[in-house]
Chain A
Amino acid sequence: MIDIKDLHVRFGAVHAVRGISLQVPRGGSFGIVGESGSGKSTVLRALSGLNPDWTGSMAINGQSLGRVRGKDFFRRVQMVFQDPYGSLHPRQTVDRALSEPLIVHGMDDHETRILRALAEVALPPATRFRFPHQLSGGQRQRVAIARALMAEPDVLLLDEPTSALDVSVQAEVLNLLADLQDRRGLTYILVSHNLAVVAHLCPRLGVMQGGLMVEQISASDLRAGRTAHPHTTALRRLSVELEEA
């Protein structure tokens, strides 16, 4: 479904992503972990078309992607960001936020689609005419996910979707993402600094350091400690140490 080969991204003199290749099958999930500045979000932004300065090849569903993306691309590929405070318009109601993708893509039957989307992310219908500041952090992230689903995409790019949330809310959002994938056959790329979150949702993951993907590993190998690169081993040790406390 997603095929990235030898992706490089440069910001002026900074070589942020240095030759990344990865494949994600249809309906699968791939996780990218790394510390800040490792280039993990930059990969997502290049794939989503938010950053035009890249070289290499990227294809979604067999179609090679260019610098400029068509409208169909933006319908099929949607992104969810870390901070729902920042990614929802503070002066637009939930209804307005959810209508916008429908208007852009010329879809009909707004009423039923919006009500269905709210039900799908388990938000009460009453939230429809609320503003973002009237919702909790978890509810806001559900709105962001609902908005991403409005255009009926095939691919969701998730950039630290639970890092700003409390752990109990994180669990709800992760369960919701798993359910949506089962129901709709979505393909995910999940970027996070939290190894346990990535391994929970993604059967395969890549570890990034300094713009390189230093290791690709299955979640079960990671759990069992069969890591090859010292950076993966170090990240795993830190994560497991706390769990055993």
Chain B
Amino acid sequence: MHVDIQNLCIAFPGATGISHAVRNVSLSIGNEKLGIVGESGSGKSLTARSILRLLPRSARLSADRLAFDGIDVLKASESAMRGIRGKRAGLILQDPKYSLNPVMTAGAQIAEAWRMHRKGGAREARDGAMDLLDQVRINDPARVFAAYPHELSGGMGQRVMIAMMLAPDPELLIADEPTSALDATVQAEILRLLDDLVSRRGMALILISHDLPLVSHFCDRVAVMYAGRIVEQLGAGELARARHPYTTGLLECLPALSHPRPRLAVMKRDPEWLK
């Protein structure tokens, strides 16, 4: 599995002219954990979703190359895209409260995903779903299987989402702020779980987040986005070597327990960064 993005642009026509949400982004993703970090509106989610061609209808997408494992996403038919979406590349969203079906039990939703992609019988799907719940380290799979989403905590709901995405054995997992709605202790558990699943199954992972320290702790490589552009790419644990003033600015404006600052640094945005 290899994702190749070259010169990706996404624009939205509006009443006051065209707004360019993603500008000339190039990325290449193999079997690794890539983090995309940026503030709201930086284009990080759009960039990742363009791989699945899941963009708002009004979006204008262009690229020199946008390929998922050799398949040209720009030209692929809808049915070819359906072969990628969910099946070969899963998408995990921020808040399980809004992404799970509230009137289906968690187990029925996972079993549905399993059957959809693997074409098995009802009993096989049930066993498959139980096995997946076990893989996302739910202690009591039978209870969670029969529970409706409102009966689950945020962390539990996110495990159910992950189990559902794992059902078709995807090669790539895109996690869009998977832990932002969760408490710090639960966040750590979910990330450990993702890390474990990714290395055990040999999947690639794209983790989208606004939290630079978190992502660089967890991923092999981090791309920092600002105003639709990748301003810097860093290896794991190389935050201290960040060069771009936006990246260092992001780090300096964080309050930290280990080194108190009487006053937080404020980001001075340079129009030069947009060029």
Contacts and interface: CB of A to CB of B under 8 A. Distances in A.
List 4 A-B pairs, minimum CB-CB distance, nearest first: A245-B217, A171-B253, A200-B255, A35-B183
A171 B250 CA distance: 10
A193 B264 contact: no
18 contacts: A35-B186, A167-B212, A168-B39, A168-B250, A168-B253, A170-B253, A171-B254, A171-B267, A174-B255, A195-B257, A196-B255, A200-B260, A234-B185, A238-B185, A240-B257, A243-B213, A244-B258, A245-B239
Given A168-B249, A175-B266, A242-B213, A35 B184 contact: yes
Interface in A198-232: 199-200, 219, 222-223
B188 A167 contact: no
A223 B255 contact: no
Contacts of A171: 253-255, 264-267
Interface string A164-179: 0011101110110010
Contacts of A168: 39, 249-250, 253, 266-267
Contacts of A239: 184, 257
Interface string B241-275: 00000000110011111111101111100000000
Nearest to B240: A245
A193 B40 contact: no
A183 B183 CA distance: 34
Nearest to B214: A242
Nearest to B218: A245
A200 B39 contact: no
Interface of A: 35-36, 137, 166-168, 170-172, 174-175, 178, 193, 195-197, 199-200, 219, 222-223, 234-236, 238-245
A125 B238 CA distance: 42
Contact of B258 (A36, A167, A240): A240
A209 B114 CA distance: 38
B221 interface: no
B255 to A, nearest CB: 4
Given A35-B185, A166-B39, A245-B216, A223 B257 contact: yes
B184 A235 contact: yes
B154 interface: yes
Contacts of B267: 168, 171
B254 A196 contact: yes
A243 B39 contact: no
A198 to B, nearest CB: 9
Given A171-B265, A243-B257, A137 B40 contact: yes
Contact of B237 (A199, A238, A245): A245
Contact of A193 (B183, B250, B255, B259): B183
B210 interface: yes
A199 B256 CA distance: 8
B253 A167 contact: yes
A200 B267 CA distance: 18
Nearest to B38: A166
Contacts of A240: 257-258
Contacts of A35: 183-186
Contacts of A241: 217
A35 B261 CA distance: 25
Nearest to B186: A35
A236 B186 CA distance: 14
Contacts of B263: 175, 178
A18 B256 CA distance: 30
B45 to A, nearest CB: 14
Nearest to A234: B185
A236 B256 CA distance: 11
Contacts of A172: 266
Interface in B57-116: none
A243 B266 contact: no
A199 B266 contact: no
Nearest to B180: A163
